[in-house]
Amino acid sequence: MIALQQKGGSSENNNLENAKKKEIENKIVRIEYIDHVLVCNSDPTKYKPIVREAIGRIVQETSEYIVLIWEQSLMYRRQVNITPESGMILVKKLVLGVWILGCQTLRS
């Protein structure tokens, strides 16, 4: 598991944070996060936030959020402005964990 947030602001912590960002760059990851719940025609006091997971690639990370892409066209990677990507923006304070997933090529 990779902790994406480090407490403190020393250069040692920043170096560790940069190393962790490089480690997950362009790799498939699994992220567990706390999600909001939309309640319609029901008593909202009976519900609470739920833990969800998403699998994809982290393409951007700031101190406040992570951008996770789970689907994109292969044409988009080769040519600009062909097909947009699908993904989500996750607030880091709601992220419970990030794991790098191992991948095995089955067919090329």
pLDDT digits (tens, 9 = 90+) for 54-77: 999 998 899 999 999 988 776 655
Asked if residue 71 belongs to a domain, the reply is yes
- E-strand ranges in 5-64 read 28-35, 50-61
Residue 2 placed within a domain: no
**Residue 96: what pLDDT?**
96
Q: Is residue 1 part of a domain?
A: no
Residue 52 within a domain? yes
- Residue 61 inside a domain? The answer is yes
Domains in the chain, number:
1
CB proximity list for 78: less than 8 A, separation 6 or greater: none
**Looking at the domain assignment, is residue 107 inside a domain?**
no
Q: Across the chain, what does the average pLDDT equal? A: 78
Given a cut of 90, whether residue 21 has pLDDT beyond it is no
Q: Are 98 and 106 in contact (CB under 8 A)?
A: no
Q: Is 4 a domain residue? A: no
Is the pLDDT confidence value at 45 over 60? yes
pTM for the whole thing?
0.69
Quote the percentage of the chain above a pLDDT of 70.
Answer: 64
Q: Would residue 3 count as lying in a domain?
A: no
Owning domain of residue 26: 11-100
Distances (CA, A) of 12 to 7, 58, 76, 100: 11, 23, 37, 23
